[in-house]
Structure 1
Amino acid sequence: MTSRFTDRTVLVTGGGTGLGRAIARAFAAEGARVAVAGRSAATLDETVALIAAAGGTARAFTADVTVAADMHRLVRDTVAAFGGLDVAVNNAGVFRGGGHSAADLPLDDWHTLLDVNVTGVLHALQAEIAHMRGHGGGAIVNIASNLGPHVRIPGVFGYQVSKAAVSALTRAAARDHVGDGIRINAVSPGASESSMSLRPGETEAEREVRMKAESPLGRISSAEEIAAAVLYLASDAAGSAVGTDLVIDGGVSA
């Protein structure tokens, strides 16, 4: 374990699975006290157990990003448990509407994408900023995507719009709150070690073959590579990174 985040408290939404779990584990491995949040207590407990087994410190908190009151409660509970909040990673997100164009995207999918991926990030930001600007500042990293802000493909209309909004939201909020001592940035992963990068019915082995053709790098990004980008933006080494949208996609959007 290293000490880059020793004595710092980190909150990760969507921390029960996939990239969120990898991000939470990476922070804990570098000394952070990690609050892992999400809607499923069972998966959150698994993340906490993995962190504890590796010698780290973490607690699980159930919360729904689409409910503003949940986000304010989550921040209060994190501060009560660990004494503060230094870093927040707004990772919770969903994918809906694969195969649908703008003309035929079901409106239920549209509303879900906006509620979770956009309004959910806003709810989290508002709760996190409310605490941080009164307690010496902090760092916030939002998880966007290369799809939407950096590259577009047919059939993923709703998801791309929602993630483009996260990128724009990040930059606008960063300008608004850098004077409060809060650095806000984003990481935009491409296809990575996450279930979201699997097409319907596709196996991981089939995805590996597909990515050899689709990615200049010839593979997906590992969850650890995405986590490393998040930790960099949250660290003191990125002290002048404000409103950055760091793309980690193997060159797809280059």
Structure 2
Amino acid sequence: MIDDENETGNDASMSPKDASLGTHDEEEALEKDQAGEDNSPISASDHAAPPEEAVETDQSGKKPVGRSRESKSRPRKPSKADVLGRLAEKNKAIIELNKKYSEKQIEAKDLKDKWLRAVADFENYRKRMRKEWELLQQQTKAEVILEVLNVVDDFERAFSAAGDKEGDEFVEGIRLIYNKLVLSLEKFDISQIEALGQPFDPTYHMAVAQVESEDGEPNHVIEVVQKGYLQGDTVIRPARVIIAK
């Protein structure tokens, strides 16, 4: 009792200043306790991910990357109808391409045939033009040669009219010109047709008359009116002849 009273007396005897100090000490102690709780070490369980955020690990312990996203973005499996529809479209496209390919093959064959015909026509045209050109050259050459042969005929008629005048310088000069002209014709493969005494051949001879003859054989050339000439094997001018009956 006496102690209680002493403690009571002591409490009562404490000054207001002492009381305020005691209260301040208690607040500091409370703040330290709270700070100790905040600074206490954090266990691994405190940072454990919530069940909904936990990521499963594979057997090697490695976390699969983006598995949860892949599972969410995985495309929808196409249905049988979709597959059949796509196949039908592909088949339709293939049929259309085959049709166009066949058309192009026919077109290419037609163009090839036209090209081959054009090549053949052009080759025939070249051959025809070459033959026509050769024929034109031969005709032109023959025309020139015929004119020269007419001059040769004039020389021969002049010699016949002059007779045998040996030693006449003028006649001999004309004869030299005649001989050069004949040699020039020979350079172009011009040759005289042998007609006198030969059987009549309409290929080389042109009969201007047929007379009775005691010396000549029937149907043989007994006189040459105009000489005939060949260029190679081609008759440039047939010989004009008289044949015996």
TM-score, normalized by length of structure 2?
0.21
* Structure with the greater alpha carbon radius of gyration: 2
- Specify which structure has the bigger relative contact order, considering alpha-carbon pairs within 8 angstroms and separated by 6 or more residues: 1
What is the TM-score of this pair, normalised by structure 1? 0.20
